[in-house]
Amino acid sequence: MEQQMIFSVSEANNFIKALLDRVPQLQEIFVRGEISNYKLYPSGHHYFTLKDAEGAMRCVLFKGNALRLRFRPENGMKVIAFGRISVFPRDGAYQLYVSELSPEGAGDLHVAFEQLKAQLEREGLFDPAHKKPLPRYPKTIAIITSPAGAAVHDMLRILRARWPLTEVKLLGVRVQGTEAPPEIAGALRYANRYKVADLIITGRGGGSIEDLWAFNDERVARAIYESEIPVISAVGHEPDVTIADYVADARASTPSNAAELAVPDRNDVRARLTALERSMTKTEESRLSALRERLTALERKRVLRDPMAFIADKRLLLDYTQKNLASLAEKQVGERRQRFAALCASLHAMSPLAVLARGYAVARKANGTVLRSADEVTVGETIDVTLGRGSLVCTVNETRGENNHGKKL
């Protein structure tokens, strides 16, 4: 009989979790339903159940994702949840881990929006590292929008009022309808191909999700991402967020706000220049004041008022220094003479000549070797004897040896 594998409860739960985690369709899934049993815990996590007429599913929305909600979930609200389905091993129940939640009112367009958003985010089109800084003082701005809309007139008015030095080029396109996305994308590529500006603003005024849908088109998103010129997205009003806003280098809440982001306010620049001018003037005045004080101090110096007196002072200082050097040299010479005399006395006391002068003699063999024992010579050998004064040449007639008591051996 084949032995059956026995799982513990936790092993079985983890095995089921691993199976579900390997199903791609369950890792990015949209679920439509009605919220019930909604609870917001002190941790900031949201727990609720999605249900329809025939079933229910447990859901969790963690705090990090909940902070991005643009509405407050309530029981009975119909929503579309996006996330992944997995098993919580502790209790063995599967649940939907929600990453995004939106009211169902958006319908299929919202589902399409979320699907494209998730796809482009995975590809890195929203990566902050790819976003380019806006030029501080743009020379030329290209506005890609409808020439007939109110948004372009608002932007032109604000740009002229804030920074009239900037040249504005309008690339007119449709911003609504099926023809709008290719026209917007084409204008973006045209502006880059011919380097018509060093900053681009693209957008339109507010409207419904259908009105703004051209800026949720994948072609427009990729054209913005590929743009070498920085792009400001200015679509709709503050609550409206499009795919173009995520991809652009900067997002403006409105077209008017885009114009404010694009250029500095000349009044602010003028005020800053005035402040810098005052600061520079104050700094120069302080520097000149310090130079005047230094000049006054130099004018008071005796060397400038009476140069000969300065020379006389230096001459006195030189005489004083010379006298001190002479005294120091004399003192050092005297000390060295005394030391030399002492060293000479010590050397003389240890000199062999001094010993000879006291009556001693030094005997040497013919080759100059000093004799220290009678055994070192033989009878008849000639030796040289050095005295205190002069020397003798002697012939050895007899050798004698003595012990420590002076007795003959």
Confidence check: pLDDT of 359 > 70: no
The pLDDT assigned to 271 comes to 93
Confidence check: pLDDT of 171 > 90: yes
User: In residues, how long is the chain?
Assistant: 409
What mean pLDDT do residues 357-379 have? 81
pTM exceeds cut of 0.85 = no
| Residue predicted with more confidence, 23 or 146 | 146
Q: At what angle do helices 150-162 and 255-262 cross, to 10 degrees?
A: 30
What mean pLDDT do residues 75-87 have? 88
| Residue predicted with more confidence, 239 or 142 | 142
Q: What mean pLDDT is reported for the chain?
A: 87
Q: What gap in Å lies between CA 294 and CA 304, rounded to an integer?
A: 14
Question: In terms of Cα–Cα distance, which of 143, 222, 133, 146 is closest to 177?
Answer: 146
What percent of the chain is helix, strand and coil (3-state, nearest 5)? Answer: 45, 20, 35
Q: How sure is the predictor about 281, in pLDDT bands with cuts at 50, 70 and 90?
A: very high
Q: Which of 4-8, 103-107, 121-125, 208-212 holds the top average pLDDT?
A: 121-125
Tell me the one-letter amino acid at 126. F
Q: What gap in Å lies between CA 193 and CA 325, rounded to an integer?
A: 85
* Pairing state between β 29-40 and 78-88: antiparallel
Confidence check: pLDDT of 200 > 80: yes
Confidence check: pLDDT of 9 > 60: yes
Q: What gap in Å lies between CA 349 and CA 258, rounded to an integer?
A: 107
Over residues 156-170, the pLDDT tens digits come to 999 999 999 999 999
Do residues 387 and 361 touch, judged by C-beta distance below 8 A?
yes
Over residues 305-348, the pLDDT tens digits come to 777 777 777 888 888 888 888 888 888 988 888 888 888 878 77
Question: In terms of Cα–Cα distance, which of 189, 255, 196 is closest to 222?
Answer: 189
The pLDDT assigned to 404 comes to 44
The pLDDT assigned to 143 comes to 97
Over residues 212-260, the pLDDT tens digits come to 999 999 999 999 999 999 999 999 887 778 999 999 999 999 999 999 9
What mean pLDDT do residues 117-136 have? 95
Q: Which of 39-43, 61-65, 246-250 holds the top average pLDDT?
A: 246-250
Q: What percent of the chain has pLDDT over 90?
A: 48
Q: How sure is the predictor about 276, in pLDDT bands with cuts at 50, 70 and 90?
A: very high
Do residues 112 and 138 touch, judged by C-beta distance below 8 A?
no
